[in-house]
A = this chain, B = another copy of it.
Amino acid sequence: MIRVALDAMGGDKGVHEVVCGAAMLSVSPRPVQVLLVGDPDAINGVLVDQKYDPRWIQIVPASGTVSMGDNPRQALLKNPNCSINVAARLVRDGQADALVSAGHTGATILAAADCFQRLPGIRRTALAAVYPTEQRHGPKGDPFALMLDVGATVGSTAEDLVAFGVMGSAYAKIISDNPSPRVALLSNGTEPNKGTPSIVAAHERLTQLSSVNFVGNVEGLDIPKGTVDVIVCDGFLGNVVLKMLEGVSEVFSDLAADAYARKFLWRLGLTMLSQGLRQLKSMTDWKQYGGAPVLGFDHVVIKAHGRSNARAIRNAIKVAAKAVDRDLCEQIRVGMAGGST
- Residues on A facing B (Cβ under 8 Å): 134, 152, 154-155, 186-189, 194-196, 219-225, 235-237, 239-248, 250-252, 254-255, 259, 262-263, 265-266, 268-273, 275-276, 279-280, 283
Q: Pick the contact of A273 from B196, B266, B280 — CB < 8 Å?
A: B266
The CA of A255 and the CA of B280, in the complex, are separated in Å by: 8
By beta carbon, the residue of chain B nearest A152 is B188
Asked if residues B276 and A272 are in contact (CB atoms below 8 Å), the reply is no
Contact B195 A251, beta carbon cutoff 8 Å: no
The answer to whether A246 touches B220, judged by C-beta atoms less than 8 angstroms apart, is: yes
- CB neighbours (8 Å) of A273 from chain B are 259, 265-266, 269-270, 273
On whether the beta carbons of A236 and B154 are closer than 8 Å, the reply is: no
- A186–B240 touching, CB < 8 Å: yes
Chain B residues near A250 (CB-CB < 8 A): 221, 224-225
Tell whether, in the assembled complex, residue A188 and residue B154 are in contact, meaning their CB atoms are under 8 Å apart.
Answer: yes
Chain B residues contacting A152 (CB-CB under 8 Å) are 188-189, 194
A225 lies within 8 A of B251 (CB): yes
Q: How far is the CB of A56 from chain B (nearest CB, A)?
A: 38
9 more A-B contacts (CB under 8 A) besides A220-B247, A223-B244? A187-B240, A188-B235, A221-B250, A224-B250, A225-B247, A225-B250, A262-B276, A265-B272, A265-B273
Contact pick for A248, options B195, B224, B255, B268, CB 8 Å: B224
Task: Given A189-B152, A251-B134, check contact A219 B196 (CB 8 Å).
Answer: no
**Docked pose: A242 CA to B244 CA in angstroms:** 11
Asked if B240 contacts A188 (CB within 8 A), the reply is yes
A271 to B152, CA, bound (A): 42
Interface centre among A134, A187, A271, A276 (most CB of B within 10 A): A276
Residue of B at shortest CB range from A247?
B221
Offer 17 A-B interface pairs, CB within 8 angstroms, sorted by A.
A134-B251, A152-B189, A152-B194, A188-B239, A219-B239, A220-B242, A220-B246, A222-B247, A224-B244, A237-B237, A241-B241, A252-B252, A263-B276, A265-B273, A266-B273, A269-B270, A269-B272
